[in-house]
């Protein structure tokens, strides 16, 4: 059972208290009864000495293997830095080979080479095969363990094969020809519902959804989600079956990609997903995007200076500048977030360009009309100048309408020119919205008041 946040806090406090008291017997009992995923959650809050102590008190190799899969790289390195390579290999042997490859990717090349030499030949060969692929592709995240039989095999033989093989997640059975080309797929439900002597070619589906080894992991996740699959086969450029990507890996991908997109939109960069959080890294990643916003602010100041003479005639205009810029910025960010996320998940695409623009433009206009009317009524009530109320109301309408258009337009343009919209959209939307809002606001005032 997964621990709640309150239970996790209690577990952390209990472990720390038992360590302080030196109550190793009680600590061992608690650690070996706790799921490794829950232990991994509190690992980052422990000192290096406490981390090593907890790891050493684990009795089951399977629990250690699960911890290997869950903890962050820096904590894993701390735990195993003094471990004999033979002990590391012992733990890796009970792990799925794709997870072993993921872990070895984090080690230096010399350490990886030595560990691979100590592993069983079959395991070592399959892990080496996975390490050849980019970690962000289908080949890099696939598992090389799957069940594949020829189309002349019977249902009885297929079930016997499933019983013999130790497969991590045997959701489907794949049918191949003599050269390992993928020709069909059968679900386990189909397999157990037919007579034992039925040949696989009679029940297999030839309408196969598969991915190539070079496909980006985010696209793999989209395919699995679109077709509601529990696993998707991975083939090479010759359509030979080389592995499968299971739904548990897809969940990790979706979480990782969503986190990356959010961090990119914040100007923080995807390195924050895996790496330790630090002040220097935070400063280095944010400076370029904040500089873009700073430039926008400078341009906005020149716009205000250009209209300074008019502003001096009616200083009341300045009172409404923050709310007009702020509301426009909020709508622009909302629109860009909707479009960027829609593009990332495949719910939207560049071919819907005018439909997306018109939808967001209409939304921005309606919202601008509502809040512009309210702001205009407030300005008129506060200063008893009907023209001022009309100016700020129209300024709000124009600002929010334009912001919605810009917020939806820029991500689509960036995507069309193969620029990651999650990275580039945020600063440019804010900058463009602020500058254009002020230009429109003062020009409306100039037309209706001065």
* CA 329/CA 341 separation, integer angstroms: 18
The C-alpha R_g of the chain, in whole angstroms, comes to: 29
Which element (helix H / strand E) includes 234?
strand 231-235
Class of domain 271-448: mainly alpha
Give the pLDDT band of residue 4 (cuts 50, 70, 90): low
Q: Is the dihedral of CA 113, 116, 122, 126 positive or negative?
A: negative
Residue 9's pLDDT is what?
85
193 in Cβ contact with 222 (< 8 Å):
no
Give the pLDDT band of residue 265 (cuts 50, 70, 90): low
In the chain, CATH 1.25.60.10 sits at 5-136
Q: Is the pLDDT of residue 281 over 80?
A: no
In the chain, CATH 3.10.580.10 sits at 148-255
Q: Is the pLDDT of residue 47 over 70?
A: yes
pLDDT tens-digit profile of 336-384? 888 887 887 777 888 888 999 999 999 999 999 999 999 999 998 888 8
312 in Cβ contact with 447 (< 8 Å):
no
Q: Which two tokens stand for residue 34?
A: 């706790």
Give the strand pairing for 148-150 and 172-176. parallel
pLDDT tens-digit profile of 381-435? 888 888 889 999 999 999 999 999 999 998 899 888 877 776 667 778 888 888 8
Kindly report the CATH number that applies to the domain delimited by 148-255. Answer: 3.10.580.10
Query: Which CATH architecture group holds 5-136?
Result: Alpha Horseshoe (1.25)
Give the strand pairing for 182-187 and 172-176. antiparallel
In the chain, CATH 1.10.357.20 sits at 271-448
Q: Which two tokens stand for residue 388?
A: 């001022």
pLDDT tens-digit profile of 56-102? 899 999 898 888 888 876 778 778 877 888 888 999 988 888 888 88
């Amino acid at each position: 059972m997964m621990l709640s946040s309150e239970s996790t806090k209690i577990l952390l406090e209990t472990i720390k208290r038992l360590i302080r008291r030196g109550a190793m017997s009680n600590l061992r009992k608690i650690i070996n009864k706790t799921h490794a995923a829950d232990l991994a959650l509190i690992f980052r809050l422990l000192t290096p000495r406490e981390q090593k102590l907890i790891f050493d008190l684990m009795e089951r190799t399977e629990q250690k293997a699960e911890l290997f899969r869950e903890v962050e790289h820096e904590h894993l390195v701390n735990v195993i830095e003094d471990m004999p390579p033979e002990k590391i290999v012992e733990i890796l042997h009970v792990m799925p080979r794709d997870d072993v490859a993921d872990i070895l990717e984090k080690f230096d090349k010399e350490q990886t080479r030595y560990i691979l030499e100590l592993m069983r030949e079959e395991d070592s060969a399959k892990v080496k095969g996975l390490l050849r692929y980019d970690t962000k592709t289908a080949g890099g995240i696939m598992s090389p363990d799957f069940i594949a039989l020829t189309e002349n095999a019977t249902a009885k033989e297929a079930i016997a094969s499933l019983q013999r093989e130790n497969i991590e997640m045997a959701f489907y059975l794949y049918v191949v020809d003599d050269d390992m080309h993928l020709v069909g797929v059968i679900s386990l439900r189909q397999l157990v519902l037919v007579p034992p002597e039925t040949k696989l070619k009679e029940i297999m589906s030839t309408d196969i959804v598969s991915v190539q080894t070079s496909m980006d992991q985010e696209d793999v996740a989209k395919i699995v989600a679109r077709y509601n699959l529990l696993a998707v086969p991975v083939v090479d450029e010759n359509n030979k079956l080389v592995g499968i990507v299971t739904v548990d890996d897809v969940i990790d991908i979706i979480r990782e990609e969503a986190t990356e997109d959010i961090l990119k939109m914040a100007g923080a960069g995807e390195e924050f997903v895996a790496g330790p959080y630090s002040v220097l890294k935070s400063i280095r990643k944010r400076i370029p995007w904040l500089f873009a916003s700073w430039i926008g602010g400078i341009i906005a100041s020149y716009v205000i200076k250009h209209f300074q003479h008019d502003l001096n005639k009616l200083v009341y205009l300045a009172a409404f500048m923050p709310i007009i810029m702020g509301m426009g910025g909020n709508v622009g960010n909302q629109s860009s977030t909707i479009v960027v996320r829609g593009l990332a998940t495949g719910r939207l695409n560049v071919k819907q360009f005018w439909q997306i623009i018109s939808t967001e433009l209409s939304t921005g206009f309606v919202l601008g009309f509502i809040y512009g009317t309210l702001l205009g009524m407030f300005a008129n009530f506060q200063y008893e100048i009907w023209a001022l109320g009309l100016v700020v109301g129209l300024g709000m309408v124009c600002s929010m309408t334009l912001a919605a258009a810009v917020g939806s337009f820029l991500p689509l343009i960036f995507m069309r020119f193969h620029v990651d919209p999650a990275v580039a959209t945020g600063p440019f939307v804010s900058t463009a919205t602020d500058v254009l809002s002020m230009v429109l606001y003062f020009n409306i005032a100039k037309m209706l008041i001065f």
